Structure 1
Amino acid sequence: MGRLVPAVTRSLDILELFLEGDGTLSAPDITRRLQLPRTTVHELLGTLVARSYLVPAPEQPGRYRLGVRNYQLGSRYAEQFDLAAEGRQVAQEVAETCDETVHVAILEDTDVIYIAKVDSTHAVRMVSAAGRRLPAHCTSVGKMLLASLPADELDARIGGRELTAMTPNSITDPDALRAALAGIRERGVAAEHQESNTDVSCVAAPVRNGAGRVVAALSISVPVIRWTEQRGEELSGLAAKGAAELSTRLGHRGAGL
């Protein structure tokens, strides 16, 4: 591990003090308990307030309490923790129905990270692992997640640069990718055929949280020796059903891509 940054460490020390007592502290309280210079404490408090990690306590002049940013970070952590656990359960149910490999993945920048995986029982199956990272535009889960982004955010992520190819079938032109994503938004499911692995085709559907935001995608991966158009339609419906179930478990009650 690299060198710890003193200012960051002190800021976190301040925030962790609010886990105790009634949840409010003054600058003198913090100065005394952390044995820091008064000027340093005031500078750190000013920064934490400016970033909404702390706010002045109502009707308690000179005292502070935790701000909304801590709640947002905690909610995101809880959301992803629940997502991995619930995703594994739903993936298991889907895999038992179709006997193919099922993944749940999230989007990070221009990559997808698989947070849950359940294998097929077939001897011939997709080789992968939870925690693996792949270029989003080469996968069905990634294209599903990219299709859910607002246009400006999508542009910021893919820009106009040539995209990395994993196989000869990978989409490398940003405009071609945008056209593919438009089709995915219309259909509500995504597919990729030998774009990340020349031996595999996949279908995916979106997973939403309680606020209706797409937070993940669930995919079913099939070796090309078992792939047909009819099988693809069947698995697309099953992926959509599984993604809807996972969305329900995360608190989603609506519809839409």
Structure 2
Amino acid sequence: MGRLVPAVTRAFDILELFLDGDGTLSAPDIVRRLGLPRTTVHELVTTLAARSYLVPVPGQPGRYRLGVRPYQLGSRYAEQLDLAAEGGEVARTVAETCDETVHVALLEDTDVIYIAKVDSTHAVRMVSAAGRRLPAHCTAVGKMLLASLPAPELAARVPDGAELAAMTPDSLTDPGQLRDVLAEIRRRGVAVERRESNPDVSCVAAPVRDRTGRVVAALSISVPTVRWSEERRPELEALAVQGAAELSGRLGYREAA
């Protein structure tokens, strides 16, 4: 591995300061927060401004904000993102931690489509495949995604008189009961499914957001009944939330302070 270049590292340190606060900084602010010499900060800020990474704030002499170049780089990065590939990498890390099957799924109408899957190494595990489609109301990922819809859109997809198909005796089939469950999911930020899509499997799921904060997918951990317990559930929920947050970060999402 090559040597890190101190000047480049300091330039990135300056740029990353703009991720916090109101998005504007003065040279004295940077000196104070990074502990760098004033001359060094002045030279770095001047260089970054010359390359359009920083621009002066109109009407506020000596203050800077991010310029157009970081936006251009971020846009190009977003164009190259592959949700399935990024989801697969994160799912693999989560699966290695808990040794259970991990999925990433999207919502299409009232179904979920699995776009990434990493299996558990246990002999007893959930049987599924990327590309599989299931009714959203029967799955943890699907309920997480339905819970993230604006109320009018949810009502259009799941109207009061909708007939919700059952996959197991534990599946939710009443739209009103489903809405109550979705309200609880919105409150907690995590979804749970107990034997609703498979009589031998329970799942937990958390939302995945893009750079605008919109929920675009969900990540779930699926556990056979023989290894599921309510005592273990909080640990699995926390791991699903952590994995979903990692994937959201890869998509450019940054949680508000």
Question: SS of 2:112's equivalent?
Answer: strand
Aligned residue runs from structure 1 range 81-230, under 5 A = 82-160=82-160, 161-230=162-231
What amino acid is aligned across from residue 210 of structure 2 in structure 1? N
CA deviation after TM superposition for structure 1 residue 255, in Å:
5.2
**Pairs aligned (count):** 181
120-129 or 247-256: bigger deviation? 247-256
Q: Partners in 2 of 1:151 and 1:78 — Cα distance?
A: 30
Partner residue in 2 for 1:234: 235
Tell me the alpha carbon deviations over residues 18-49 of structure 1, each in whole angstroms, 9 at most, x when there is no partner. xxxxxxxxxxxxxxxxxxxxxxxxxxxxxxxx
Partner residue in 1 for 2:70: none
What amino acid is aligned across from residue 102 of structure 2 in structure 1? V
CA deviation after TM superposition for structure 1 residue 171, in Å:
0.3
Which segments of 5 or more consecutive residues in structure 1 lack a partner in the other structure?
A: 1-74
TM-score when normalising by structure 2: 0.68
Question: SS of 2:82's equivalent?
Answer: helix
CA deviation after TM superposition for structure 1 residue 78, in Å:
4.9
Q: Partners in 1 of 2:178 and 2:131 — Cα distance?
A: 25
Q: Partners in 1 of 2:190 and 2:250 — Cα distance?
A: 20
Relative distance call for 1:131 and 1:155 in structure 2 (3 A) is same
Q: Partners in 2 of 1:121 and 1:127 — Cα distance?
A: 12
CA deviation after TM superposition for structure 1 residue 206, in Å:
0.1
Partner residue in 2 for 1:59: none
CA deviation after TM superposition for structure 1 residue 157, in Å:
0.3
> 4+ runs of 1 displaced by more than 6 Å?
none
Q: Partners in 2 of 1:255 and 1:191 — Cα distance?
A: 25
What amino acid is aligned across from residue 94 of structure 2 in structure 1? V
Q: Partners in 2 of 1:200 and 1:255 — Cα distance?
A: 35
Partner residue in 2 for 1:254: 255
Relative distance call for 1:78 and 1:176 in structure 2 (3 A) is farther
Tell me the alpha carbon deviations over residues 145-197 of structure 1, each in whole angstroms, 9 at most, x when there is no partner. 00000000000001121211000100000000000000000000000000000
Q: Partners in 2 of 1:171 and 1:162 — Cα distance?
A: 10
Q: Partners in 2 of 1:91 and 1:215 — Cα distance?
A: 16
Q: Percent identity?
A: 74
What amino acid is aligned across from residue 117 of structure 1 in structure 2? K
CA deviation after TM superposition for structure 1 residue 230, in Å:
1.5
What amino acid is aligned across from residue 247 of structure 2 in structure 1? L
What amino acid is aligned across from residue 203 of structure 1 in structure 2? V
CA deviation after TM superposition for structure 1 residue 237, in Å:
0.2
Across the aligned residues of Structure 1 and Structure 2, the Cα RMSD in angstroms comes to: 1.8
Tell me the alpha carbon deviations over residues 75-102 of structure 1, each in whole angstroms, 9 at most, x when there is no partner. 9x958x6110100000000000000000
Question: SS of 1:93's equivalent?
Answer: helix
